[in-house]
Amino acid sequence: MALLRTYEIDSSRSTWKLRVGDTDVGGEFRELSGNLVFDFEDVSACSIHLFSAIAGIGIENTNVRNENGDSSDTLDWRRIHFVSWRFREIGRRDYWVPGALRIGDLAKVESLRFRGPTPEIADAHGRLRAAATAIANIEASRIRLALDAQQTGNPAAGAEATLRFQIGLVRRMPAESKRVAA
């Protein structure tokens, strides 16, 4: 049995939510995408990459005009993006994952608490499915700088923002497993 598994994030079964203090940040969230490389023998070699575009969080226009009249696409700062450096096991299927997090135009070193992947289940299309969750707690005042203040409100001093990912994972069933399943 191979202990290194590469999963794609199933965007149709994955979501994310941002909560600032006691307020869920509204807006139209787009699909979550990315991948997870998980090594059951060496968790320090694991990596995760998460990406989602943001729409409707107080940033309605996709083009901005600068002072000389030129316009530029704002997509670069209308996103959530996380790339990990390594995993460290802190419990059964529970990991601390440091990496680079970008929310809007805020970029910082941050860590996720990653739980999963769950045991795999074969689907009708010959793929293996699993799930995971990842949570980041960030100082709310920093999130307010990255997103529209009307959406994030005015959080109390010391309040936290919580970014929660519910992740559906999918990978192709190895050829040897298909023969056994048939």
How do the domains of the chain map onto residue ranges?
Answer: 4-61+73-181
Structure tokens of 115? 């739980």
Each residue's pLDDT expressed in tens, for the chain with a length of 182 residues: 458 999 999 998 998 888 877 777 755 556 789 999 999 999 999 999 999 876 544 433 333 444 545 444 444 446 789 999 899 999 999 999 999 988 877 778 889 999 999 999 999 999 999 999 999 988 776 665 455 544 445 556 667 888 899 999 999 987 655 544 44
The pLDDT assigned to 161 comes to 83
State yes or no: cis peptide before 117, omega within 30 of 0: yes
Q: What is the pTM of this model?
A: 0.75
Q: Find out if CATH 3.30.430.20 is the number for domain 4-61+73-181.
A: no
- What backbone torsions phi and psi does residue 124 show, to the nearest 5 degrees? -70, -10
Can you read off the two tokens belonging to residue 116?
């999963």
